[in-house]
Amino acid sequence: MRIDADLRLSDHEDMGILSKLFRRSTGKRQSSESSHPVDRIPVIPERAATSSDPSHPVERIAAIREGKRESNRHRGPAAKAFRLEREERRKLETLVRRERTSALLAERARTLLELNKEPDSCVLAVAERSGHDPKFVRTWRDRYLKAGLDGLKSRVRPGPQPRIGAVSRCQVLAMACGKPSDFDVPYHTKWTTDALLKAYMEKQQQSKDLDAMSRTSLLKILNDSEIRPHRVKMWLHSPDPLFREKVTEICDLYLSPVPGRHLVCVDEKTGMQALGRKHPGRHAAPGTDARMDYEYIRNGTRKLIACWDVRTGEVYGEVRANRRAEDLVEFMEAVARRYPIGEVDVIWDNLNIHYDGASARWTQFNQRHGNRFHFHYTPIHASWLDQVELWFGILQRRVLRYGVFNSLEELDQAVLGFIAHWNANERKPFLWTFKGYPLQTGRKAA
């Protein structure tokens, strides 16, 4: 065994280091026949002690002794330059800020924005700062470079084979969209979950193509298709053949009133009941809602005829015992006195007393007032176009719904008092935004 003169192996640790360095440099593992460390020291070629070659075993051992240990370089994937264009960065920032973005997608976009800030696109620095594994950063960087924003979405995983086949699902949907009587389910005007499941299971026993399913599976099929057969919503169809034309005409008046002409809406609110309570109500308290007794006392009814000024939001109203043609004509005479000058456009619905009738009441009314009044009729079953109906809703919610009226006089005072309060303190026009059907007047109404 030959060792350089300047090398002094004083303990077994240095001899072990020398052995490892030699094996690494030669690529061969020496077999050991002896357990003593000295016997495992390989033969090192003679070399000058002053050699400046840092790869020489002697030089490397000397560096280790002096505390200059080799740094373990990270041997990972090759670094990739990652730079985002301005438009790409804007899209990722929008994705992070948007409330409807999923948490996973937002975190992936946020990681790419952090990577873009690194001067040398250092994956390890971004991973350490964001708390992610470096593999996470590399994965979504590579997917983005390959497919853009679509690459940030999670891939669809196949999962297990569905237990309920497509034929069974379609059968459930077909039954849910039909009537119970079509599937021999008696005394059901609409489906319930139990009735639908029972009808399906009876059909499944008669067919080999259908799969058995539980109540939970049936509900999941309905929810995925957004079908709720147990719910029923009311709607009102207008059979008026000129529905769209009339709607567009009225909306044009709301949105672009004719300059120099008054625009009012007239209608009646019938059936206002003066209801008293047999037992007094109770006010709200901590942990307890306000209470009102179910048992009421009828004290009569009243009818309100009201005129709404579309431009100013002012209301003129009269409370009457009846709603006859004579009552409406008297009310319109009062409206004519409120607008003594100028043309007046009147919008109202298709109530029978709103038409001339045998007495030609409105033709005579107009002749008495110089033909200043122009009547516009809402389509059949479309009185919601009359803006005074919106004000009736405010009156109902704030005065009538929970009001207690022990006499007709109390009801009259409450309604007329609210009208005066509205005109003095809360008067304002409604902001109408519906434009009607200006480009669809030739189509048939739905």
Backbone φ, ψ for residue 284 (5° rounding): -70, 150
Q: Which residues of the chain have pLDDT under 70?
A: 1-76, 439-446
| pLDDT on residue 118 | 85
Q: Indicate the Cα dihedral angle 143, 148, 153, 158, nearest 10°.
A: -60
- Tens of pLDDT, residue by residue over 157-170, are 887 888 899 999 99
| pLDDT on residue 68 | 47
End-to-end CA distance of the chain: 105
| pLDDT on residue 18 | 52
Return the structure tokens found at 368: 């008495």
Return the structure tokens found at 395: 């009156």
CA separation for the pair 306, 256 (Å, rounded): 23
| pLDDT on residue 24 | 54
| pLDDT on residue 79 | 75
CA separation for the pair 429, 446 (Å, rounded): 30
| pLDDT on residue 77 | 73
| pLDDT on residue 5 | 41
| pLDDT on residue 29 | 45
| Helix/strand/coil (H/E/C) assignment for every residue in 194-216 | HHHHHHHHHHHHHCCCCCCCCHH
CA 250 to chain centre: 32
| pLDDT on residue 9 | 44
Residues in a beta bridge with 266: 307
| pLDDT on residue 382 | 93
- Give the CA distances from residue 183 to residues 198, 209, 368, in Å, rounded to whole numbers and listed in that order: 11, 18, 65
Q: How many helices (H) and strands (E) does the chain have?
A: 14, 5
